[in-house]
Each structure stands twice: as C-alpha cells, then as structure tokens.
Amino acid sequence: MSIIRHSPPDRPLPNGADIGLPWHLGLPAPLERGFQVYLLGLTRTLIRSSFVIVLILLVSGSMVEVLIDPASAMHSWRARLIAIMASTLTWWLAGQEQTDWIIQPSVCLTALIISITNNYLSITLSHSLSYTYYLFNLLAILLMGTLFRITFRWSLINSALILLLMIFSMLVYSELTPAETLVLFFFVLAGGVLSLYGQYNFEKLQRKHFLAERVLAMHRNELHSANLVLENQATEDPLTGAVNRRGMEERLNRQINLQRQRKTEDGNLYVLLFDIDFFKQYNDSYGHLAGDDCLRTVSTVVQSMIQREADFIARYGGEEFLVALNGIRLNDALVFAERVRDRIEKQGIEHKASRNSNVITISVGVAGWRPEIHHTSELIRMADEALYEAKGLGRNRVVLLDEGGTARPL
C-alpha cells in the first residue's frame, strides 16, 4: 500500500498533512525500525519525567487506605511495594543504553502488575470500598497510552489482557452483583477505549511527522547533491576536468587567506604554472582533436598525482595549467614539479614538430606565497615570470622564482 501520496504542483514538499497511512499504521520494515527508534526516544524521556507521577499515585492510594481502613492498608502495602518496584525498574531501564528492546515490555509488565495487584486487593479486602481497586485497571491502561506513550500495538494488546484479567477476577472471585460488575467493567472499558483512540490518533500524527521529516531530509540531500553538481559544473573545465579559471581564482584566494593565518612551520602555499611546449605546432601538425586529447592526458596525469584535498589543478588558459600545493615545504614543491615534468615526458605522446624533443614536454614555473601577497594575480604573476624563464632556458625544465625575485633553474 502506498504510504506517500503525490503532492500537488503548488506544494511540492510534504508537510505531514499530505501523507497517507494504512489503518493499521504499519510502515515498510526499514521505516518501521526508524520510527521505533524515534518513538522510543520520546518514551524514554516521558518515563524519566513522569515516574514521579506514578509514585505519587501509588503512595496517595496507600495514604487514602490508611485514612479509610488502617487494617486494609497493612494488608495492601506489599502489593503497593511490588507496583512501585516494577515502576522503578522501568524508570531505571529508560535511563540505560542498549535497552530499546525491553522498554515497551517493561512498561507493559508494570501496567499488568498494577492491574493484577489491585484486582487481588479488590478480591481479598472486605471493606465497603474494596470494589474501587478495580478502577486501577483504567490507570494501568492510561499509564501505557497517555503517560509513557508506548506504541499503539503494544498498548492495545496489553489493554485487552488487562480487561480480560479484570472481568475474570470480577466474575470468578468477586462478590459484586452482576449490575455492579457491569457498571465497573464498562466504566473501565469506556475509559480504556477513549485512551486507546486518543493514542491511535496521536501515534498517527507522530508517524506522519516522522515520514515528513524523512522525506524533507531526502529532498534536502537531493538538493545538496544537485547544488554540488551545479557548483562543479560552474567551476570545472569541461574539456580536461580540471578546475576552470573562475574556480581557480576562488580556491586560490581562499588558500591565500588561510595561508595568512597559518604559522610558518606549517608549510607554505606554492603555485606551479606550466604549459605544453610548442603546443601550437602540435595542433597544426596533428589536428585539434589530437590537441584536445593531449590536454586531457596532461590534466589526468597531474590529477592522479594530487593526493590532498586542498591541492588542485586548474586550466589557466589554452595549454597553460596551474597547480596549487597548500601547506608544504619548498623542497617538496620542487620535487612535485619535477615529478610532473618527468611523468608527462614519459607518457611518450609523439610530437615531431617540437624543437627540443620528439614527445610532449612541459615547462614549469614555481613561486611561493609571501606575506606581502594579497591577491591571486600577484602570486600567478610570479609563477609566470619563472615559467617565462624556463622557456627562455630551452623549455622542458622547472624554474623557481625565489624570495629575492631571482629565477633559479632546477
């Protein structure tokens, strides 16, 4: 049976009112387990906060007995003590972890003990008001459905058992007249039915609220995933899969701001700016489709070498790429740059139009962040100076622009 109806176009997300439930309130197994956990959290809270009310009712009953008939109070205190002990056990279990499976049976057992002990007192005590002990059966039913809020199914089954025990003791052991038996039983039955009906509707609302939360959470997750996809599409170069120019500026600005807050011993931010040597000649000789394949290969090689989440490769423009390495030492940045240069050369992509090699090579310029740098353009300009120097020295090499502004080949 369908649980959730389709929402009208003007109200796309459910708010609880547009969620339908079967008459028995059952949910598919995974959802039912989730609801049980959800409801038991409420039940635990109610048991811990309402335990005092149960104690007050039981102690008040004993005090009334003392006022009416002290001899009866001496007879009933053991039954009262058993009921108090059962209630105390339920309260203790509600405060323990790993006891979800026993909370509802414990509440039902407490209600049964209250019912049985009061049926017993009604039979064994001889004063004129002994029949009133049967009214505690209604309190036992209210304990489950109104005070401690166990699930409707548990409450319904246990309430039926309480009513059967009550009518059995009244018909077999009690000296009440048939009329008195009928009045008492239907009074308890009416109160129990009203309690169960109210509990049924309350649990129905709880289940709707639970389902609405789950559906809204699902929509939030879907929306979050969609936003991530859109964000990636907005900041990703469609050809190479690297970060595009816009995404590069956003991420690099963020890393520069973080670097200004980071201590020197935590490492520095380094930028590697490289381009493919004689790429125009490669396009002219092999065609633009081959050129696109070459760009994708170069980007993929570098992406496979990036290990940390903060680091990234971006397509700076045309055949130029930028790699940001965050929080590392100078030697590590230079080793990474040399490994990138060597790895791309070893791909062996044929380039007969190149003037310094028969395969695709790259030239790399390296620059590190300095405290006086506030914008990405300043850091990229430094890396571009080092790249220009690498090209001037014959390409297929790494050049560092040091803190003094001197270009140093590797």
Residue 40: which region, alpha, beta or left (left: phi > 0; alpha: psi -120 to 50)? alpha
Q: How many beta carbons lie within 10 A of that of residue 130, not counting itself?
A: 19
Do the strands 320-328 and 398-401 form a parallel or antiparallel pair, or are they unpaired? unpaired
The secondary structure of 204-260 as a DSSP string is HHHHHHHHHHHHHHHHHHHHHHHHHHHHHHHHB-TTT-SB-HHHHHHHHHHHHHHHH
In sequence order, the β-bridge partners of residue 328 are 268
Strand, helix or coil for residue 402: coil
Tell me how far apart the alpha carbons of residues 220 and 362 are, in angstroms, rounded to a whole number.
44
Tell me how far apart the alpha carbons of residues 154 and 23 are, in angstroms, rounded to a whole number.
16
The position carrying tokens 């007969």 is: 352
The tokens for 16 are 């609880």
In sequence order, the β-bridge partners of residue 317 are 320
Q: Who contacts 116 (Cβ-Cβ below 8 Å, separation ≥6)?
A: 165
Helices (H), 125-177: 136-142, 152-172
Residues with a catalytic annotation lie at 319
Q: Which amino acid is at 147?
A: L
Exposed, middle or buried, 105 (CB in 10 Å: 0-12/13-18/19+)?
A: middle
Tell me how far apart the alpha carbons of residues 310 and 67 are, in angstroms, rounded to a whole number.
78
The position carrying tokens 């057992």 is: 109
The tokens for 8 are 């009208």
The secondary structure of 32-72 as a DSSP string is HHHHHHHHHHHHHHHHHHHHHHHHHHHHHHHHHHHHH-HHH
